[in-house]
Amino acid sequence: MREDAPLLHDNVFTDDMGKKSEQPSNVDKELHFVKGDIAQGFAEADVVVEREFKTATVHQGYIEPHVATADWNEDGHLTIWTSTQGSFACRTQTAAMLQIPVSQVKVVPCEIGGGFGGKITVYLQPVAALLSRHCGRPVQVAMQRDEVFEGTGPTPGSFMRVKLGATKEGKLTAGEAWIAFDAGAFPGGPIGPACMCVFSCYDLAHAKVDGYNVMLNKQKTQAYRAPGSTHAAFACETVLDELAEKLEIDPIQLRLQNAAVEGTRRVDGPVYPRIGCVEVLQAAQNSDHFQSTLEGPHRGRGVALGFWFNCGLKSSATAHVNSDGTVTLTEGSTDIGGSRASIAMQLAETLGITAEEVHPQVADTDSVGYTDVTGGSRVTFATGLAAYKVGLDIQQQMASRAAILWDCPAEDVTVEDGVYSHNGDSLTFGELAGKLHATGEAVVGRAAVAPDGATNTFGAHIVDVEVDPDTGKTSILRYTVIQDAGKAIHPSYVEGQMQGGAVQGIGWALNEEYFLDDQGRMENASFLDYRIPTCLDVPMIDTIIVEVPNPDHPFGVRGVGETPIVPPPAAIAIAIYNAVGVRMGELPISPPRLWKAISVKS
């Protein structure tokens, strides 16, 4: 970032809130948000805490490597079978690289073995396509594990400085954050979400956030589950915990006193609609875990709060009614985390039939309308909304068919719980489906949606740890995730998302990082040396689902997939402090790093 630093690119200029710099720079993006009067806010504070934080580069750690099979026919049409988070995004990117129309590319999304943001960008698909065109045969290309680590985009490392002030009664008066992300060798990086999320859990009258995407001579970074928010929460929540200690206020109570509520304006501008931040904190405060006593030497408990949003973007779906009363649903969102089931359940609920009577399928890019990526916690929300509107379309058509049978106006047919009625006559959805051929053409429902704005999800994590001061090893004894799901469409899948995100956050907190040599080459490019958590590293993770309905969805749905990765590093760092009295400001809190900190303190 220094003015005399060597330039990576002489054609990259800083984008500073829409204004371009006059000179090339290694800082490709700057963001600056201000709310209120920051100087006044800190002047009103009785206690101020300011700390610096660093986080290492970490990978998404999906088990299935990148793979693509391509068949470029003699007629010029290209078919790609691939593991991807977005078949339409894959089609667009591949067509652009190959300089062919998107209509000549069909992408068939295969079952995916994990993505977490890392399978949005194309890597192998254009390569497989060119090889197929060259040899005239289908070609499959797959990465080895070291190629995944070295050739794809991890999440950025970061340097952050966070400052919070509060009155002696515990009212937060001001917050200030300075955040710099390692974007890698090319522009891009989640500095926007980081700046948006850093103070998002709290009602601050005065706040200031400065963010920078900085290019370094390393591999380009990409999205990783709630990109930017985990970094920001690690800094903010750790400072807030220290503030609670200095004020001698219970850490959950301090959060409750300052929690964001409906009407709170974030530092980046948006005003919250109905949200569940307070309800999540209350559930955490009343949980068996928080109410229990933790005993034993070198043991500590930590609590942290986290936030993520789910975007709308575009989704499409169609469905047709079969004569046996079932419905075949076709949608375009790659299934990660059981989204097919949750979307089918929303269609079933709309039609008044059972979920088992809906047969969902994820279609290729030639068979369904444009649908954005599976990411941003958007699928159950946005594609679910498309399925709901498909259901309304089908319901209207079915009522018209019943009207033909009963020789009455369609508007006189009532529908309740899948039963169509008029003047004492009634037919179930299945019975009416069996009569469709006698009343006209096939019944096909269609919908394409682009929901405006974003909805918001909050989660609180409670963790108990035990630290071995002789080795620096941290063991997780107990873990509880509390999260607002809006409406848990498929509770067991929601719990799975909460548990999976927590485990990834535990790995980020304690073990995971890129080790690079002086030439920028990765030295631990295998799962043997890049250590993600296994079942031996974590206990059974308890979950508490809070349901505060999302006002922008007919069933109250909120996306749940990304928030669970946000609080773990902060919660674990706080627990470690309560266990051994050392405040850790750098991730991962690996045994050597923690042992050194304990030794210095001793």
What is the per-residue pLDDT across 423-435, written as a single tens digit (0 to 9) for each? 999 999 999 999 9
- Residue 557 belongs to a domain: yes
- Residue 5 belongs to a domain: no
Segment 493-512 mean pLDDT: 98
In whole angstroms, give the CA distance from residue 472 to residue 595: 4
- Residue 7 belongs to a domain: no
For residues 192 and 304, membership in a common domain is answered with yes
pLDDT, one tens digit per residue, over 442-480 is 999 999 999 987 789 999 999 999 999 999 999 999 999
In whole angstroms, give the CA distance from residue 466 to residue 274: 38
On whether the CB atoms of residues 503 and 539 are closer than 8 A, the answer is no
**Does the bond joining 588 to the residue before it have cis omega, within 30 degrees of 0?**
yes
Structural domain total, the chain: 3
Q: 260 exposed, middle or buried (CB, 10 Å; 0-12, 13-18, 19+)?
A: buried
For residues 596 and 457, membership in a common domain is answered with yes
Query: Domain containing 444 — which CATH number?
Result: 3.30.365.10
* Boundary residue ending a domain (449, 467, 492): 449
**Residue 3, pLDDT score:** 82
Query: Which H or E element spans position 555?
Result: none
For residues 160 and 240, membership in a common domain is answered with yes
Residue 463: closest CA among 297, 578, 296: 578
**Torsions phi, psi for 472 (to 5 deg):** 80, 5
- Show Cβ contacts of residue 39 under 8 Å, excluding neighbours closer than 6 positions: none
In whole angstroms, give the CA distance from residue 114 to residue 235: 28
DSSP code, position 263: T
- Residue 439 belongs to a domain: yes
Residue 502: closest CA among 533, 458, 530: 533
For residues 257 and 245, membership in a common domain is answered with yes
- How wide is the angle at C-alpha 521 spanned by C-alphas 525 and 531, nearest 5°? 25
Alpha carbons within 13 angstroms on the beta-carbon side of residue 132 total 25
- Residue 2 belongs to a domain: no
**Residue 602, pLDDT score:** 84
**Residue 509, pLDDT score:** 99
- Residue 293 belongs to a domain: yes
- Residue 344 belongs to a domain: yes
For residues 434 and 365, membership in a common domain is answered with yes
**Residue 138, pLDDT score:** 99
* Residue 41 reports pLDDT greater than 80: yes
For residues 230 and 163, membership in a common domain is answered with yes
β-bridge partners, 305: 460
In whole angstroms, give the CA distance from residue 106 to residue 556: 34
For residues 440 and 488, membership in a common domain is answered with no
Name the H helices within 287-409.
288-291, 339-351, 384-406
In whole angstroms, give the CA distance from residue 142 to residue 67: 4
Segment 47-59 mean pLDDT: 99
For residues 201 and 345, membership in a common domain is answered with no
Tokens standing for residue 55: 């986080």
* Residue 516 reports pLDDT greater than 90: yes
- Residue 75 belongs to a domain: yes
Between the two ends of the chain, the Cα-to-Cα distance in Å is 36
SS3 528: coil
Q: Quickly list DSSP for 100-163.
A: --GGGEEEEEPP-S--TTTTSS-SSHHHHHHHHHHHTS-EEEE--HHHHHHHS--BPPEEEEEE
Query: Which H or E element spans position 546?
Result: strand 541-546
* Residue 121 reports pLDDT greater than 80: yes
For residues 213 and 350, membership in a common domain is answered with no
**Residue 458, pLDDT score:** 99
Question: Could you give the percent of the chain with pLDDT greater than 90?
Answer: 98
For residues 533 and 438, membership in a common domain is answered with no
**Residue 491, pLDDT score:** 97
pLDDT, one tens digit per residue, over 517-543 is 998 899 999 999 999 999 999 999 999
Which structural domain, as residue segments, surrounds residue 109?
67-151
For residues 460 and 348, membership in a common domain is answered with no
In whole angstroms, give the CA distance from residue 321 to residue 564: 37
DSSP code, position 380: I
On whether the CB atoms of residues 348 and 386 are closer than 8 A, the answer is no
On whether the CB atoms of residues 213 and 26 are closer than 8 A, the answer is no
CA-to-CA dists, residue 351 to 398, 417, 427, angstroms: 10, 7, 13
* Residue 95 reports pLDDT greater than 80: yes
Q: Average pLDDT, whole number, for the chain?
A: 97
For residues 333 and 191, membership in a common domain is answered with no
* Boundary residue ending a domain (114, 129, 151): 151
- How wide is the angle at C-alpha 358 spanned by C-alphas 356 and 361, nearest 5°? 120
In whole angstroms, give the CA distance from residue 447 to residue 550: 21
pLDDT, one tens digit per residue, over 266-301 is 999 999 999 999 999 999 999 999 999 999 999 999
**Torsions phi, psi for 106 (to 5 deg):** -115, 125
Segment 47-68 mean pLDDT: 98
Tokens standing for residue 152: 């794809």
Q: Work out the pLDDT band at 2, boundaries 50, 70, 90.
A: confident
* Boundary residue ending a domain (103, 122, 151): 151
Edge-first strand order for the sheet with 586-587 is 19-24, 13-16, 27-35, 207-215, 172-184, 158-166, 47-55, 586-587
In whole angstroms, give the CA distance from residue 96 to residue 377: 26
